[in-house]
Amino acid sequence: MSEAATSVNPGLSQPLLAKRTSPKWMISALLTTAIVALPVLSVIFLAFFPEENIWPHLIETTLPRYLTTTLKLMIGVGALTLVIGLASAWAVTMCEFPGRKFFEWAMLLPFAVPAYVIAYVYTSLLDYAGPVQGALRDLFGWSSAADYWFPEIRSLEGATLMIGLVLYPYVYLLARAAFLEQSPSLFAVSRSLGHSALSTFFRVVLPIARPAVAVGLSLVLMETLNDFGTVDFFAVQTLTAGLFDTWMNLGNLGGAAQIATTMLIFVVILVTLERYSRRRQQQFAARDNREPIQRFTMSFPRQMICVAVCALPVLFGFVIPGATLGLYAWEYFGESWNPDFVRNTFNSLFLSGTAALTTLLIGVTLAYSRRLHNTRKMQVLMRLSSLGYAMPGAVLAVGVIVPLAGFDNWLDSLMRDVFGISTGLLLSGSAFALVFAYTVRFLAVSAGSVESALQKITPSMDMASRSLGHTPGNTLVRVHLPMLRGTLVTAALVVFVDCMKELPATLILRPFNFETLATYVYQFASDERLYHSALPALIIVLAGIIPIILMSRSISNSRSIA
């Protein structure tokens, strides 16, 4: 390969560039990105040009409270997930203790439990009428709540704990991957200088892993901003809860868009801080990063500390909620298994499957378009197409409903004038709105996975196919897709599970008399019928375990470990 060809487009050779005569892939990527970015533009437009401007009223009354509570929640969840994620990732990667191999993948299990589900479970266990306080009253002879003090689960602190217990895997996942990529020689030098495992962690490992940790923490904070089920159930007034209240209860879409814009500012700040934190860091893979890691050997008490560090998050984040849901589902199976449950399960499977397939098709189109046209413009398009993943579900719902409702109203007016018939809400009042929202929200998952996998395929495969007369489309179908089969299945599965769990956007955009498992669980919990929500909640949790196992295997296989 000549230097000239490399300078034009790193990773692809000049013969392949010369055969790019069709702009179809670039045009398709441009149109797709424009459609995906439409919800963001709609939110911003509506916020600046609302039908009724209540921004001054929001600033004087509720907005400061929403902002303060949201900041407290994000700081609390961020601190909790950092402590749990970093400590457990370091323990399973660098320390030898009983059960380490089990905890390598078990630490990810709370990822399968939505925050609102774990909130419902612990409320049923810890509130005044629950089994925990009931047992305490029987044990000590207390007769009323005035006789003792017990932490209030429905509080800001309770919401912080619930959300943190299921989001720490973001930090754990990326921190562990970063630890595995580091050179064993760094640990050996640190040991030769007399540093302990703890000292090595703070002086050597953590500074190098900081970019990965920053990405994990930013994802945690964005998911915290997105949460609605937990904060609504605990009556914690965050920006998301305020958006729902302004739109659903006050009927003011413009005010909801203004709150949504405030949430977008939070997202922009988080992304900017994450990039700023690693602006001067440039890291390269060490030559010995495939060699086995020699773990620290520790005394028995320290080994038990490692076991506790790993076991407690799994116990409280997955085992107790899972066992409770299983018990309730078994006891109330006859009442829970009914036509509504079957219908709502089918709705969830249909929507999640359709969204997974759609995001996969669009993700392949975007990633392959960038492979063919690896220019700065395509890089910008890829970033814009990933905006939806950073958008909270409630914000995305506002952005989706505005253009779809506008199109429905325009079409209905046209059909009335021309044919005298009403088309109704074809898009905004159907499942199309949900699929569209899911696609925009989780497109980054599939596009990023496919793009990463395509980069590992040598350009010579493209050149060989093109030299045989195949078009870019035929090359994709006959060469790349068979090689990407595993990546495509994993990406589709992750999107499928994310759609199964998604609540805020689903609550807003679902058609009338249309429920998914997530909204079904939410409706039962809102009516304080927690026992009846166990079976659908358990289905959501079980569906999330499969991609967790796949992710854990992928990380573990990335390096041989002694």
Is residue 435 within 8 A of residue 348, CB to CB? The reply is no
Q: What's the chain's average pLDDT? A: 83
Quote the strand ranges of 94-246, DSSP E.
none
Which of 505, 276, 532 lies closest to 399 in space, CA to CA? 505
Residue 560 C-alpha from the chain's centroid: 28
Residue 494 C-alpha from the chain's centroid: 9
* Residues with Cβ within 8 Å of residue 424, at least 6 apart in sequence: 408, 412
**Confidence label for 292 from pLDDT (cuts 50, 70 and 90):** low
What pLDDT was estimated at residue 43? Answer: 87
What pLDDT was estimated at residue 20? Answer: 47
CA atoms within 13 A on the CB side of 459: 16
The pTM assigned to this predicted structure is 0.84
**Confidence label for 420 from pLDDT (cuts 50, 70 and 90):** confident
- What is the average per-residue pLDDT within 229-249? 89
Is residue 380 within 8 A of residue 212, CB to CB? The reply is no
Is 50 exceeded by the pLDDT of residue 16? no
Q: Where is 23: in which H helix or E strand?
A: none
Name the residue type at position 351. L
Question: Per residue in 112-143, pLDDT tens?
Answer: 899 999 999 999 899 888 899 989 898 888 88
Token pair for 268: 């922009």
User: Can you give the residue ranges of every domain in the chain?
Assistant: 43-316
Which of 498, 156, 535 lies closest to 340 in space, CA to CA? 535
Q: Does the CA dihedral 74-76-79-84 come out positive or negative?
A: negative
Cα angle 511, 515, 518; round to 5: 125
- What is the average per-residue pLDDT within 91-98? 87
Residue 427 C-alpha from the chain's centroid: 26
Could you count the other beta carbons within 10 Å of the beta carbon of residue 559?
17
Question: Per residue in 325-360, pLDDT tens?
Answer: 999 999 988 888 999 999 999 999 999 999 999 999
CA atoms within 13 A on the CB side of 444: 13
Residue 547 C-alpha from the chain's centroid: 13
**Confidence label for 93 from pLDDT (cuts 50, 70 and 90):** confident
CA distances from 427 to 11, 405, 461 (A): 42, 7, 42
What pLDDT was estimated at residue 290? Answer: 53
Name the residue type at position 451. E
Ranges 60-64, 134-138, 252-256, 461-465: which has the least confidence? 461-465
Beta bridge partner(s), residue 296? 95
Ranges 155-169, 176-190, 280-294: which has the least confidence? 280-294
User: Pick the residue with more confidence: 250 or 277?
Assistant: 250
- As a whole number of angstroms, the distance between CA 114 and CA 227 comes to 10
- As a whole number of angstroms, the distance between CA 82 and CA 214 comes to 10
- As a whole number of angstroms, the distance between CA 319 and CA 121 comes to 12
Which of 172, 173, 206, 213 lies closest to 187 in space, CA to CA? 206
**Confidence label for 4 from pLDDT (cuts 50, 70 and 90):** very low
Helix residue spans in 456-558 (DSSP H): 459-467, 472-475, 481-483, 485-501, 504-509, 517-526, 534-556
Question: Per residue in 362-404, pLDDT tens?
Answer: 988 888 888 888 778 777 777 777 777 778 888 888 889 889 9
Q: Where is 410: in which H helix or E strand?
A: helix 393-419
Is 60 exceeded by the pLDDT of residue 282? no
What pLDDT was estimated at residue 14? Answer: 40
Task: Please tell me the CATH code under which domain 43-316 is placed.
Answer: 1.10.3720.10
Ranges 45-59, 265-279, 524-538, 548-562: which has the least confidence? 548-562
Ranges 81-90, 179-188, 496-505: which has the least confidence? 179-188
What pLDDT was estimated at residue 291? Answer: 57
- As a whole number of angstroms, the distance between CA 401 and CA 427 comes to 9
Distance between start and end Cα atoms, the chain: 39
Token pair for 342: 């079957």
The DSSP string of 453-479 is: HHHTS-HHHHHHHHHTT--HHHHIIII
- Return the residue matching tokens 């010995």: 288
